[in-house]
């Protein structure tokens, strides 16, 4: 199951938060399933009214045997879970759905299980064994699944309080976050979301033009390093940071972060020079010249650097991903002449705006992933860390997923060090009459 990737682009430059922006941030943290035309069609279903006649395509309601009606679902958040009793991987998430139902039913969550046409009685028994108390029904002729483009159980769909199909076919790991986000919304929030997104887009465009003018002025003036008061630890502790990523494949307890982790950058080895760090956040990504999936990230990361030139320093770390030992010790001469020649050629040929660094032994990757993610010896991984200006890793994960650019945008906007430096630079420009 593949993930849809969203580029935040327009919203990355927004320097303020609105309810619509908060809801768009939620959207960007929800990982969708599917690809190609099917994913495009699923995306078109999102933010459209859920057709109430689709409930009539289901039959033989069990456990809670009363079929939902437009009246009983009015103003509720509805989670639809598709499953088949004969397919165990689709049955296991019922326990999660039941837990969410027990937690949020009083707040307006309705959970509906939709079983495959085959083996319905066995599916009901499997649900009962897992303590399910929400209603389930059978999609006897597959018409409900066809309407929602269901492909592989389990699939998850969420309807918001205004009756919009808000999320269509999302990953199991995103279900809880999606439910929490929609439960927190009022009906008015849901009903006005589309218009508020349009308004936020208009505001973002205005802010983008304003920021572009400031950046252009900054380029013309070649702003020197300005003095500013370093934010306190309390300021960083109170900032709104991205949701911590956890490896969904990790054993229980393994993927839980032990606490804030710092990423200590080396003193040298950069090409062409060390990245600017004062009052700036970092994006550190990892690539191996022998793994095309990772080198394909170099240009998108360079675009990210150009987009966030004022606030973020992007560093591309060259590794030998297949040659790291179990202790993260170097297996080649880290930063040797050959490695530097590779960096120089990569930087020159691509005309990069960001900094490259050789870490063939993988020490930075080990420090970045900590105990959040299992060993990367499973093939190419397009991993990246988003690091705040105090050196703390605020997000680590796959840079091709929704969460990455959302995390970058959030850190760029909320980082106290970035805010302090920007304020000092803006004052510098003001005093210069610009």
Domain closes at, from 146, 176, 191: 191
Structure tokens at 74: 């009015």
- Within a domain: residue 207? no
Q: Quick one: 325 and 401 in the same domain?
A: yes
Domain closes at, from 140, 158, 191: 191
pLDDT of amino acid 194: 75
Q: Quick one: 386 and 277 in the same domain?
A: yes
pLDDT of amino acid 369: 80
Q: Quick one: 39 and 157 in the same domain?
A: yes
Helices and strands, counts by H and E, the chain: 17, 13
pTM above 0.85, yes or no: no
Q: Quick one: 47 and 172 in the same domain?
A: yes
pLDDT of amino acid 68: 87
Q: In degrees, to the nearest 5, what angle opens at C-alpha 332 toward C-alphas 330 and 337? A: 125
pLDDT of amino acid 331: 38
pLDDT of amino acid 434: 57
Spatial separation of the C-alpha atoms in residues 130 and 350, rounded to whole Å? 55
Q: In which order are the strands placed within the sheet that holds 109-115?
A: 48-49, 164-168, 156-159, 77-83, 109-115, 136-138, 59-62
Residue whose token pair is 């969708």: 32
* pLDDT by 10-residue block (mean), the chain, 434 residues: 35 38 63 81 91 94 85 95 93 94 95 95 94 95 95 94 93 90 89 73 60 52 76 92 62 53 87 90 93 90 91 92 47 60 88 91 84 46 92 91 84 94 86 70
Q: Quick one: 156 and 286 in the same domain?
A: no
Q: Quick one: 178 and 278 in the same domain?
A: no
- Within a domain: residue 199? no
Q: Quick one: 171 and 276 in the same domain?
A: no
Q: Quick one: 101 and 187 in the same domain?
A: yes
Q: Quick one: 37 and 163 in the same domain?
A: yes
Q: Quick one: 288 and 414 in the same domain?
A: yes
pLDDT of amino acid 302: 93
Q: How far is CA 35 from the centre of its chain?
A: 17
- CATH number for the domain spanning 44: value is 3.40.30.10
Domain that holds residue 403: 258-429
Q: Quick one: 272 and 185 in the same domain?
A: no
pLDDT of amino acid 34: 77
pLDDT of amino acid 375: 43
Sign of CA dihedral 217, 219, 225, 228: positive
How many domains does the chain fold into? 2
Residue whose token pair is 């159980």: 153
Domain closes at, from 191, 224, 240: 191
CB of 47 closer than 8 Å to CB of 193: yes
Q: Quick one: 38 and 129 in the same domain?
A: yes
Spatial separation of the C-alpha atoms in residues 367 and 276, rounded to whole Å? 21
Structure tokens at 82: 């598709």
- Within a domain: residue 66? yes
């Amino acid at each position: 199951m593949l993930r849809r990737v969203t580029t935040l682009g327009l919203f990355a430059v927004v320097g303020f938060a609105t309810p619509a922006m908060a809801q768009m941030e939620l959207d960007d943290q929800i990982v969708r399933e599917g690809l190609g035309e099917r994913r495009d069609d699923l995306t078109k279903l999102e933010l459209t009214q859920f057709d109430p006649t689709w409930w009539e395509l289901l039959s033989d309601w069990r456990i809670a045997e009363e079929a939902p009606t437009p009246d009983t679902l009015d103003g509720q958040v509805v989670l639809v879970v598709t499953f088949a009793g004969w397919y165990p991987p689709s049955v296991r998430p019922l326990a999660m759905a039941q837990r969410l139902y027990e937690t949020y039913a009083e707040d307006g969550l309705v959970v509906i299980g939709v079983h495959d046409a085959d083996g319905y009685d066995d599916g009901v028994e499997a649900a009962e064994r897992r303590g399910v108390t929400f209603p389930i029904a059978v999609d006897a002729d597959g018409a409900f699944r066809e309407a929602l483009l269901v492909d592989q159980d389990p699939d998850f769909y969420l309807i918001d309080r205004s009756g919009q199909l808000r999320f269509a076919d999302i990953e199991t790991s995103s279900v809880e976050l999606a439910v929490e986000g929609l439960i927190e919304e009022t009906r008015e929030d849901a009903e006005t979301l589309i218009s508020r997104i349009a308004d936020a887009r208009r505001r973002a465009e205005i802010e983008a033009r304003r920021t572009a003018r400031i950046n252009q002025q900054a380029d013309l003036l070649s702003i020197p390093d300005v003095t500013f008061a370093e934010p306190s630890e309390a300021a960083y502790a109170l900032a709104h940071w991205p949701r911590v990523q956890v490896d969904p494949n990790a054993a229980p307890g393994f993927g839980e972060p032990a606490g804030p982790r710092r990423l200590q950058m080396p003193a040298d080895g950069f090409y062409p020079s060390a990245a600017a760090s004062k009052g700036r956040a970092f994006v550190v990504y990892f690539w191996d010249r022998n793994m095309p999936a990772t080198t394909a990230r170099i240009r998108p990361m360079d675009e990210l650097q150009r987009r966030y030139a004022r606030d973020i320093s992007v560093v591309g770390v060259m590794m030998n991903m297949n040659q790291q030992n179990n202790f993260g010790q170097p297996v080649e001469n880290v930063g040797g002449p050959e490695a530097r020649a590779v960096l120089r050629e990569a930087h020159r040929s691509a005309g990069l705006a960001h900094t490259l660094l050789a870490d063939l032994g993988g020490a930075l990757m080990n420090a970045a992933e900590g105990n959040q993610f299992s060993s990367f010896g499973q093939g190419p991984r397009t991993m990246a860390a988003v690091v705040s200006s105090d050196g703390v890793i605020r997000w680590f994960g796959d840079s091709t997923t929704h969460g990455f650019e959302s995390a970058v945008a959030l850190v760029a906007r909320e980082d106290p060090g970035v805010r302090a430096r920007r304020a000092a630079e803006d004052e510098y420009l003001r005093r210069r009459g610009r």
